């Protein structure tokens, strides 16, 4: 719609001016309105009340068949050429247009409702010195808005002030980047001082100059000018639309971008009208059929001209010509008459039937109980009815990670302390026991501050801690002290942890349950409760985490005055800094780490060091100098950190699981067997994504090599991609092989396809966001595509929503393969829209992905059923339907063609007019629909057992241009038999009583009876799966034919409607003759015998995958559902790094005095409120940083105890 508007705008001479810089003033609407910035209303609907009819009809008549039927209807209005009434075409055409329009209107009404719901949300806006409740759509650039806890951010805002110390706010960005850990934003000090003073805010008149609207989520440049001074603004000062305010009572923000200009909308991508490849092929075939129709009509028109000249003059004695009619005019008119008569080669019922089949197959997806998720009461949903068969042709899947493959829940699973591993259970024979829901959990009732949601199954660890094991206690003490978590205790014992990364929260919660409870902190101290005893540690320094250090340390003094440095970080980093005496312990711990990494767990190594008082005093002095230095501050601090973090003593290692959704590895394995390639496109860090890749069996130790592309320049990226490609395919050409071709309607569309290249062995590719940005540039994208497509698995990390869409479009453009994108957050919307098919997972990241998707369900594992069962069946049914439909209609029409040579090319119909009318509507409609809705080659269990059955769909083997030509040849043969056998049999035949049978009406009846019986036998041969419905439709259609025929050819009908039913007595006179039935039998035999012989030989000599599996299932029993088995233990030499979603700079925050500013006591909403997570029943331990509304009933029954322990939820 937008493109249409802009087109007309350009016609009228209105060039849309490109915005180069945004300039506005706070609290000054007249000034800001002069720039005509977009308001905050969003519009995703395609039509409005006035544009619906013209735009929808325009879209529908772009479908060639609809335009053709309109043209045909106009022809039928001309009496000289029409032998059929105009309404025979008009009624079905209007029916099809109306059905489609109603469906489109319904979809668009839902979009309007969604837009209205968002635009009518309310927010407090500062107008004329007072806060007023305004609708989102009325908010303008330059307005100051007030947000409260758990509210969505209205527009892209510059943060002015907040209720938190240091003017901080906590936001959850799940809708933007898929990450559910909280992000911290901080206002400028100069604006923060205004607090929530309405007068001060109303008098604020700062001027902002910043970048124009763009889609970069991680960057923002701008300046604020206030009282003659200019202040720099960056991404940390900006709240983006789509975020949710968490754990912040209130904040004020200045609107920078509204509605379509917001970064969320800039990343959402355009709504694309999606059509299946079969739709496109049908358009091309329909065009070919028109050409073929024109050819047939031309041949018959020439035949008419010749006949008129040679034979026609004989008839003029008793059939005089009208006026000046000549042979040429007669020929011209007969051409158009034959266009009308032979139009059944493309009947409009084809399109009606296709829509019904698609609708039926969509209902199967909606009704499938095996894709229903009871824990969240979420059924699968087909949100579109037009793409079902495309589900059977997917070659590439693009998946988000967080929330799609994983549950977004961190669980503390295992640990290694002083060389001993904890967390696993073994039976008497030493075999590992799988931990399930029924496995007995450790009882933490001895610890009143324990979190009852925390689950651990190895009792020996609690005993070790309570028995006084020195190393075990030091291990958990480290976890309780070395972190940047902020605690919140509203009531005694009611602890809530506010963690910046979920990993940190999981580790602190684990320490809490094992008796080392982190209670509170100040800039100089940390208070912990150790096995019931309160201990206050003096906090001397926090050596903060960053991406280079990959570790963090704290230096504390215990009540006895002992100084200790506690450090946790990536194993490779910590190992380099260990004391030589730890070598033996290091070997044992490394073995444990390899096991943990093999199970896809995220690992950290813990170490400590006792410090000397005098050395510490001197180090603190140097630390103070370095931290206040103007030059080389970072380098000087790094040197100091390096100096003190050496000769550490190893304590052990932790293993935290980013819990995968159930069945993810098995689903990926099944899809890989079906030759579907899976690419993971995630906003997460590289180490996290790699780890999940290993957990999901996408990356495997057996792979020959996993290439990591992480360069920061275009040339370096090119070099890394080329090196990877040369390793995989040393003999490959340097330049890619691009096959250029033409496709689409009238072959106007130019296509380019990059050929697949074969490699020896399996490879993986991991590429980060910076490198991907270079690789997607025009001169590098083919290099990226070649290298990536050689790999079995591709993982792209730190990608923006728009980059996700660009990757999908790259594969779509150069691979000419069907793509599917699956995600669960707003950051996946552009990818879902770009792919041929978009699947939304209704998870924990809102409903944005579901609203933009074509199909939705609750768990990733349902994807295999959607593709391998529903998708494959839909594709198979649609292909069978099209082949049979074209066959029956071509055969029907070709009989007319042969008859033309025997009726002087006069455009006389070979069949009774009523048979022509009812052939597609009644006699053959239901049997083919029955096959197309119920047929299966094998059932769902066998479809899972043999995923290879999916590959013919990817290769388009069941319906293509070749299959269409074969169908045409088959129809031609059948029509010859159906015309000439009855013609020859009736030529000189007499009845039993010696009377003649060879009249036109008897021949018409015989020809149409033979045709209908042959069509039903052919359908029966094509049907693999018989149901009572199929049987009823086939036998019912034959019974209906004979019943209707006998009624229409009866004396009564002739007497009532003489001109409409001229075939009086034909049925009873012909159908009681044995030679008529013998002719029917002979015709049927000759039509069907070659088909049966051909199929028999094909199965014997060149069986397909389907033939082999169907032969096997006749011999074998139904495969049992795959048993649940514990995953095989895998040893890995690679491990994850430290706290992957952690950000630098938090250490400085927790040691800053200003975060303890005294504020009025208030009731702050709990960060973790849900106490009855549906997952809680069967998962080891839960921690997540996403607030959900509690259910009242649970809140009342659980009382204070549940709330007190919700921090690990």
- The whole-angstrom separation of Cα 658 and Cα 688 is 9
Which is the catalytic residue, given 124, 368, 400, 658? 400
| Inter-CA distances, 886 with 286, 530, 879, 894, 963, Å | 11, 80, 11, 12, 11
Q: What is the DSSP string of 482-545?
A: SS--EEEESSTT-EEEE-SSHHHHHHHHHHHHTTEEEEEE-SSEEEEEETTEEEEEEEEEEE--
Question: Could you tell me which of 596, 777, 785, 586 has the C-alpha nearest to residue 679?
Answer: 785
Query: Tokens at residue 827, please?
Result: 């950051």
Which pair of tokens denotes residue 164?
């938190």
Rounded to whole angstroms, how far apart are CA atoms 59 and 596? 56
* Geometric angle at alpha carbon 222, from 221 and 226, rounded to 5°: 155
3-state secondary structure of 919: helix
CA-CA-CA-CA torsion for 786, 791, 792, 798, nearest 10 degrees? -90
Measured in degrees and rounded to the nearest 5, phi and psi for residue 3 equal: -65, -35
Cβ distance 829 to 269 under 8 Å?
Answer: yes
3-class secondary structure, 659: strand
Contacts of 303 (CB under 8 A, 6+ apart): 900, 901, 905
Cα gap 243→549, rounded to integer Å: 30
* Spatial separation of the C-alpha atoms in residues 948 and 198, rounded to whole Å: 67
Task: Give start and end residues of each alpha helix (H) in 653-739.
Answer: 664-673, 686-695, 714-728
Strands (E), 286-405: 381-382, 394-399
Does residue 400 have an active-site annotation? yes
CA 535 to CA 611: how far, in whole Å?
Answer: 19
Q: How crowded is the C-beta side of 102, counted as CA atoms within 13 Å?
A: 7
Residue of 379, 1190, 306, 218 whose CA lies nearest to 769: 218
Q: Whole-angstrom Cα distance, residue 1110 to residue 433? A: 39
SS (H, E, C) 1152-1178: CHHHHCCCCCCCCCCCCCCCCCHHHHC
Tokens of 175: 């809708």
Residues recorded for the chain: 1209
Number of alpha carbons in the 13 Å side-chain half-sphere of residue 1080: 22
Task: Enumerate residues 6+ apart whose C-beta is below 8 A from 453.
Answer: 1171, 1173, 1176, 1181, 1182, 1205, 1206, 1208, 1209
C-alpha span between 1060 and 311 (Å, rounded): 30
Over 1080-1132, what HEC string results?
HHHHHHHHHHHHHHHHHHHHHHCCCHHHHHHHHHHHCCCCCCCCCCCCCCCCC
Active site (catalytic) residues: 400
């Amino acid at each position: 719609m937008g493109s249409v508007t802009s087109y007309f705008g350009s016609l009228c001479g209105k060039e849309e001016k490109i915005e180069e810089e945004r300039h506005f003033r706070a609290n000054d609407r007249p000034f800001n309105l002069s720039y005509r910035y977009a308001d905050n209303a969003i519009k995703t609907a395609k039509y409005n009340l006035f544009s619906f009819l013209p735009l929808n009809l325009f879209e529908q008549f772009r479908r060639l068949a609809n335009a053709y039927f309109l043209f045909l209807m106009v022809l039928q209005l001309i009496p000289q050429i029409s032998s059929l009434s105009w309404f025979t075409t008009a009624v079905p055409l209007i029916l099809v247009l109306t059905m489609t329009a109603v469906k489109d209107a319904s979809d668009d009404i839902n979009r309007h409702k969604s837009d209205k719901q968002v635009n009518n949300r309310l927010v407090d806006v500062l107008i004329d010195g007072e806060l007023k409740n305004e609708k989102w759509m009325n908010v303008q650039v330059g307005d100051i808005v007030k947000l409260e806890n758990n509210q969505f951010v209205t527009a892209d805002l510059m943060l002015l002030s907040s209720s938190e110390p240091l003017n901080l706010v906590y936001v959850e960005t799940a809708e933007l980047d898929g990450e559910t850990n909280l992000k911290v934003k901080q206002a400028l000090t100069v604006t923060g001082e205004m607090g929530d003073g309405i007068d001060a805010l109303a008098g604020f008149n700062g001027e902002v100059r910043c970048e124009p609207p763009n889609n970069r989520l991680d960057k923002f440049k701008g300046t604020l000018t206030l009282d003659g001074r200019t202040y720099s603004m960056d991404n940390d000062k900006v709240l983006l639309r789509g975020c949710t305010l968490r754990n912040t009572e209130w904040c004020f923000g200045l609107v920078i971008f509204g509605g379509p200009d917001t970064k969320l909308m800039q990343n959402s991508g355009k709504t694309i009208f999606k059509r299946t490849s079969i739709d496109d092929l049908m358009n091309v075939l329909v065009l070919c059929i028109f050409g073929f129709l024109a050819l047939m009509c031309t041949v018959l028109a020439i035949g008419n001209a010749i006949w008129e000249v040679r034979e026609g003059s004989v008839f003029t004695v008793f059939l005089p010509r009208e006026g000046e009619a000549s042979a040429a005019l007669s020929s011209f008119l007969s051409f158009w008459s034959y266009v009308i008569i032979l139009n059944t080669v493309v009947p409009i019922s084809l399109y009606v039937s296709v829509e019904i089949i698609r609708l039926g197959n969509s209902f199967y997806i909606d009704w499938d109980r095996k894709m229903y998720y009871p824990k969240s009461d979420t059924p699968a949903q087909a949100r579109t009815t037009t793409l079902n068969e495309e589900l059977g042709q997917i070659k590439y899947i693009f998946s988000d990670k967080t929330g799609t493959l994983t549950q977004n829940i961190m669980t503390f699973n295992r640990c290694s302390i002083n060389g001993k591993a904890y967390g696993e259970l073994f039976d008497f024979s030493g075999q590992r026991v799988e931990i399930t829901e029924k496995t007995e959990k450790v009882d933490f009732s001895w610890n009143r501050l324990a979190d009852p949601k925390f689950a651990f199954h190895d009792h020996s660890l609690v005993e070790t801690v309570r028995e006084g094991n020195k190393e075990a206690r030091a291990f958990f003490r480290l976890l309780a002290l070395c972190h940047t978590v902020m605690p919140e205790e509203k009531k005694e014992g009611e602890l809530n942890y506010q963690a910046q990364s979920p990993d940190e929260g999981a580790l602190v919660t684990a320490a809490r349950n094992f008796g080392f409870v982190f209670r509170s902190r100040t800039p100089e101290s940390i208070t912990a409760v150790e096995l019931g005893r309160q201990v206050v540690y003096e906090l001397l320094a926090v050596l903060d985490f960053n991406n280079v250090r990959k570790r963090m340390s704290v230096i504390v003094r215990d009540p006895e005055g002992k100084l200790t440095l506690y450090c946790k970080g990536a194993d490779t980093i910590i190992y380099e800094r260990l004391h030589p005496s730890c070598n033996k312990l290091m070997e044992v711990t490394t073995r444990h780490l390899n096991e943990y990494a093999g199970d896809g767990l995220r690992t950290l190594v813990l170490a400590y060091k006792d410090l000397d008082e005098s050395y510490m005093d001197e180090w603190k002095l140097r630390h103070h100098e370095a931290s206040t230095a103007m030059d080389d501050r970072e380098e000087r601090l790094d040197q100091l950190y390096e100096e003190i973090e050496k000769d550490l003593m190893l304590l052990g290692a932790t293993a935290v699981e980013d819990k995968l959704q159930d069945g993810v590895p098995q689903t990926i394995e099944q899809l890989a067997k079906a030759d579907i390639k899976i690419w993971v496109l995630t906003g997460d860090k590289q180490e996290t994504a790699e780890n999940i890749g290993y957990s999901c069996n996408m990356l495997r130790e057996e792979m020959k090599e996993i290439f990591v592309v992480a360069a920061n320049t275009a040339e370096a990226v090119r070099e890394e991609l080329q090196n990877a490609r040369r390793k995989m395919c040393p003999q490959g050409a340097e330049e890619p092989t691009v096959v250029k071709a033409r496709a689409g309607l009238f072959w106007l569309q130019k296509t380019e396809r990059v050929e697949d290249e074969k490699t020896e062995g399996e490879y993986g590719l991991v590429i980060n966001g910076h490198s991907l940005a270079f690789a997607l540039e025009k001169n590098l994208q083919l290099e990226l595509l070649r290298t990536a497509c050689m790999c079995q698995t591709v993982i792209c990390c730190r990608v923006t929503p728009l980059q996700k869409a660009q990757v999908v479009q790259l594969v779509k453009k150069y691979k000419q393969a069907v793509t599917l994108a699956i995600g669960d957050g707003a950051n996946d919307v552009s990818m879902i829209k770009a792919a041929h098919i978009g699947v939304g997972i209704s998870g924990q990241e809102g409903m944005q992905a579901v609203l933009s998707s074509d199909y939705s369900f609750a768990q990733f594992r349902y994807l295999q059923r959607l593709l391998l069962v529903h998708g494959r069946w839909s594709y198979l049914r649609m292909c069978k339907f099209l082949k049979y439909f074209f066959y029956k209609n071509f055969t029907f029409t070709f009989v007319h063609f042969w008859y033309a040579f025997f009726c002087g090319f006069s455009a006389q119909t070979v069949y009774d007019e009523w048979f022509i009318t009812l052939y597609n509507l009644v006699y053959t409609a239901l049997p083919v629909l029955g096959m197309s809705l119920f047929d299966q080659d094998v059932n769902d269990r066998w479809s899972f057992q043999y995923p290879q059955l999916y590959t013919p769909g990817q290769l388009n083997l069941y319906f293509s241009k070749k299959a269409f030509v074969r169908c045409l040849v088959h129809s031609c043969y059948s029509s010859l038999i159906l015309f000439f056998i009855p013609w020859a049999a009736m030529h000189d035949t007499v009845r039993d009583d010696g009377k003649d049978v060879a009249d036109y009406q008897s021949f018409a009846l015989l020809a149409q009876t033979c045709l209908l019986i042959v069509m039903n036998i052919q359908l029966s041969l094509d049907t693999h799966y018989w149901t009572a419905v199929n049987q009823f439709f086939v036998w019912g259609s034959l019974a209906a034919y004979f019943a209707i025929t006998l009624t229409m050819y009866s004396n009564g009908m002739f007497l009532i409607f003489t001109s409409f039913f001229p075939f009086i007595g034909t049925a009873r006179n012909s159908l009681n003759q044995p030679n008529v039935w013998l002719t029917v039998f002979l015709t049927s035999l000759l039509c069907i015998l070659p088909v049966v012989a051909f199929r028999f030989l094909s199965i014997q000599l060149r069986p397909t995958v389907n033939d082999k599996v169907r032969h096997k299932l006749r011999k074998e029993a139904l495969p049992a559902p795959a048993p649940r088995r514990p995953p095989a233990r895998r040893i890995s030499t690679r491990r994850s790094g430290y706290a992957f979603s952690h950000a630098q700079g938090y250490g400085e925050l927790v040691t800053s005095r200003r975060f303890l500013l005294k504020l009025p006591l208030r009731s702050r909403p709990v960060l973790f409120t849900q106490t009855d997570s549906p997952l809680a029943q069967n998962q080891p331990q839960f921690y997540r940083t996403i607030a959900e509304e509690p259910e009242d009933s649970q809140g009342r029954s659980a009382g204070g105890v549940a709330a007190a322990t919700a921090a690990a939820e």
